[in-house]
Amino acid sequence: MTKKRYLLVSILGGFIIALVFFIGGFLASDVLTGSNFKETHTTSDLQAKVQDAYDLMQEDAYDPPNSSEAVNGVLNGVRKSNGDEYGRCLDAKMLSSYTDDMQGEFGGIGVVLIENNGNAMVQQVYPDTPAEKAGIKAGDYFYTIGKETKDNWTSDQVQKAVKGKVGTKIKLVLQRPFTKDEMPQNIKYTYGNPYTVEVTRQIIEVPNTDARMLPGKVGYARLFEFNEKSTDALREAFNKQIDQGATSLILDLRDNPGGDLQQAVGVASLFIDDGPIVSIRARNKSDEVLKATGDTLKKNLPLVVLVNANSASASEIVSGALQDYGRATLIGTKTFGKGCVQTELPFGDGAIFLTTADYFTAKGRDINKKGITPDVTLAMDIEDELAGRGLLNEQSTSELSKTIDLDSQLEKAIGMATEKAK
């Protein structure tokens, strides 16, 4: 989400010329309809301005860029020029890290991150990982990673810093927020008292699902992300529960940020046997409609889906399709609203990711910046959610509370799934 030195400073102009011709060709093929003279003029103007800006910086800037930094700046400047908030440039190292994540394995510590007011916070700790063994918990903030201390770490910065060669150790200082009843009068650390751990990096196999059978013959599976293993993992989990006698199912997509589009189609196809799942609308192409694969679960059981404001992208494709077909009842809060397609385009030794299309639900609903509104809107206290502790009511049985950490949304889903199975 190692910079390569393409050329020396003395021939940077030549590189920029080549880059500009690439940009010009791209624009000409997708945007411009004027004469060759107009295309050439536009390209030359862009080339000249880029070169002039670089020359000015070499003369007058207090800290002028070297050739590699200039190249990276040009690429990111072009990438941002159309306001694409999801576009990004990845060099070879960053692309490799991204690929590892999508394949579900990487050398790290085993946490899921979100950002709270621009600061990375642990949202979830995967079981049987270095993070869990070290005592890291949901809600903790990073303060020192290795030898670098920062008051505010972004998620990207944390991910880059903690990843490394399997078997190597890294020292971490984290901050655990105070509980309300222990808040001191004079707070020295904004995010809570710091504590230090040393963890050994290992291959983290991202758990695709957290699946279990709940009392009342309710099959439950939480899908953490959409990577290349997601459809198969979810199919296996739910079919096993069906064999065990499940009479209804719950699919938990809360905090699922999305991922692979084909996996979204695959997951939706577990419950929808035929018809469109999602349509993709690009600028200069006919709409592409992705249909159900026909590879459904063993039984067509009543289904409840949990979503929240962090359910995005592929999660919204799946929940939107299930809602459009009346196949499931959605419970929770309005989803994130990321309804656009990012395409990986090879460039140099890395890649550029660009938003190339928007996607729409099976019945043509626009998701982007709108999200999916659940059938039953039910908010939940974020502290309870992050801590993994539920809002148990007096009717919650000890058997059920031992089986899974309950929260108000999941409790509602269990009740509704049980009722739908009658």
Which residues are catalytic, by number? 313, 324, 338
At what angle are helices 230-243 and 261-269 packed, to 10 degrees? 20
Amino acid symbol at 377: T
| Separation between Cα atoms, residue 64 and residue 261, nearest integer Å | 41
Asked whether 136 and 198 are in contact (CB, 8 A), the reply is: no
Q: What is the Cα Rg of the chain in Å?
A: 25
Tell me the backbone φ, ψ of residue 352, rounded to 5 degrees.
-115, 130
Torsion sign across C-alpha atoms 387, 204, 160, 23: negative
| Separation between Cα atoms, residue 111 and residue 123, nearest integer Å | 7
Asked whether 411 and 395 are in contact (CB, 8 A), the reply is: no
Q: Closest Cα to residue 307, out of 330, 291, 337?
A: 330
Q: Closest Cα to residue 212, out of 202, 200, 197, 222?
A: 222
Q: DSSP letters along 367-382, please?
A: -TTT----SEE----H
Amino acid symbol at 255: D
Torsion sign across C-alpha atoms 236, 241, 245, 250: negative
Return the beta strands (E) in 267-378 as ranges: 276-282, 288-291, 303-307, 329-332, 340-347, 350-361, 376-377
Q: DSSP letters along 183-225, please?
A: --SS-SSTT-EEEEEEEE-EEEE--SEEEEEETTTEEEEEE--
Tell me the backbone φ, ψ of residue 305, rounded to 5 degrees.
-120, 130
β-sheet bridge partners, residue 204: 106
